[in-house]
Amino acid sequence: MKKRYLFFDIDGTLKAGGYENGYIPESAKEALVKLKEQGHFLALATGRSNAMARPIMEELGFVNMVSDGGYGITIDKKLLGIKPLPKADVVALVRECDQKGLPWGLQIDDSDTRLAPDEHFYEATHDAYQKTRIVPGLRPENEELIYKAFVACEYPLEHSLTALKKLPWCRYQKEYFFVEPTYKAEGIRAVMDHFGADRRDAIVFGDSENDLSMFTDEWTKVAMGNAVQTLKDRADYITTDAENDGIYNACVALGLF
């Protein structure tokens, strides 16, 4: 069988049940085993930071990953690097947030912890997704690298932020939005080029708006049945919901095992 390079989003794709109560369906686990037996290349493709995604990578037996929304590359469990956000643009955004009284936080390293200058971000969000550590006097100007930023506000206030127009962002939570890379295709290209593989041999699986960048005509695109309509409109194949054997059914339909 021809070797294919498969890239899987996590939440809503491999994992069903939402972020809080997410689980990997048994059929998805079975599909991953069969794909490995057939000699296919498997990788996660996630917006999560390397540090936040690595436990899931290890739980599922993956050794390759596109993390940080396309800016992080892991091959055979080794992190090759993470590209930071453009610092000047983050500085401009934080200044605008300060002017409008919007709490913010920063991620400046590959960890499970964000930094905030005071308690206002946590008070506004009570976020359980990621730890928040208070660093009095924190300023983006003083940090060498910035991988993500977080702004507490309710939709659609983010659309009024002028500085945000120069940055990638996505909202997963009601209380705040993420300023993070949304260029999964960039990471997938880097992985394919690393192995000298034909990009037409790649297959991507996704469900949400932050997967849009990897739904390009360079390779085969699979949308979950629970995917947003904009993703389904770009898909080559639409499978069943994640919780209804979506991964397994797609692999069968595509003749991967």
Instruction: Please report, for the chain, how many H helices and E strands are present, in that order.
Output: 7, 13
Query: Phi and psi at residue 227, in whole multiples of 5°?
Result: -70, 160
Strand, helix or coil for residue 137: coil
The total number of structural domains in the chain stands at 2
Q: Which of 157, 179, 201 is the last residue of a domain?
A: 179
Residue 162 has a pLDDT of 98
**Domain enclosing residue 58, as ranges:** 5-83+183-253
Same domain, residue pair 99 and 175? yes
Q: Which of 151, 179, 207 is the last residue of a domain?
A: 179
Residues of the chain below pLDDT 50 = none
From residue 140, alpha-carbon distances to 85, 115, 156 in Å are 11, 10, 24
Residue 21 has a pLDDT of 83
Closest CA to 243 of 20, 7, 62, 13: 13
How far from each other are the two terminal CA atoms of the chain, in whole angstroms? 8
Residue 1 has a pLDDT of 84
From residue 147, alpha-carbon distances to 49, 50, 144 in Å are 9, 11, 10
Sheet with 104-107, strands from edge to edge, namely 131-134, 113-116, 104-107, 148-152, 176-179
Residue 20 has a pLDDT of 73
Same domain, residue pair 93 and 164? yes
DSSP symbols for 181-211: ---HHHHHHHHHHHTT--GGGEEEEE-SGGG
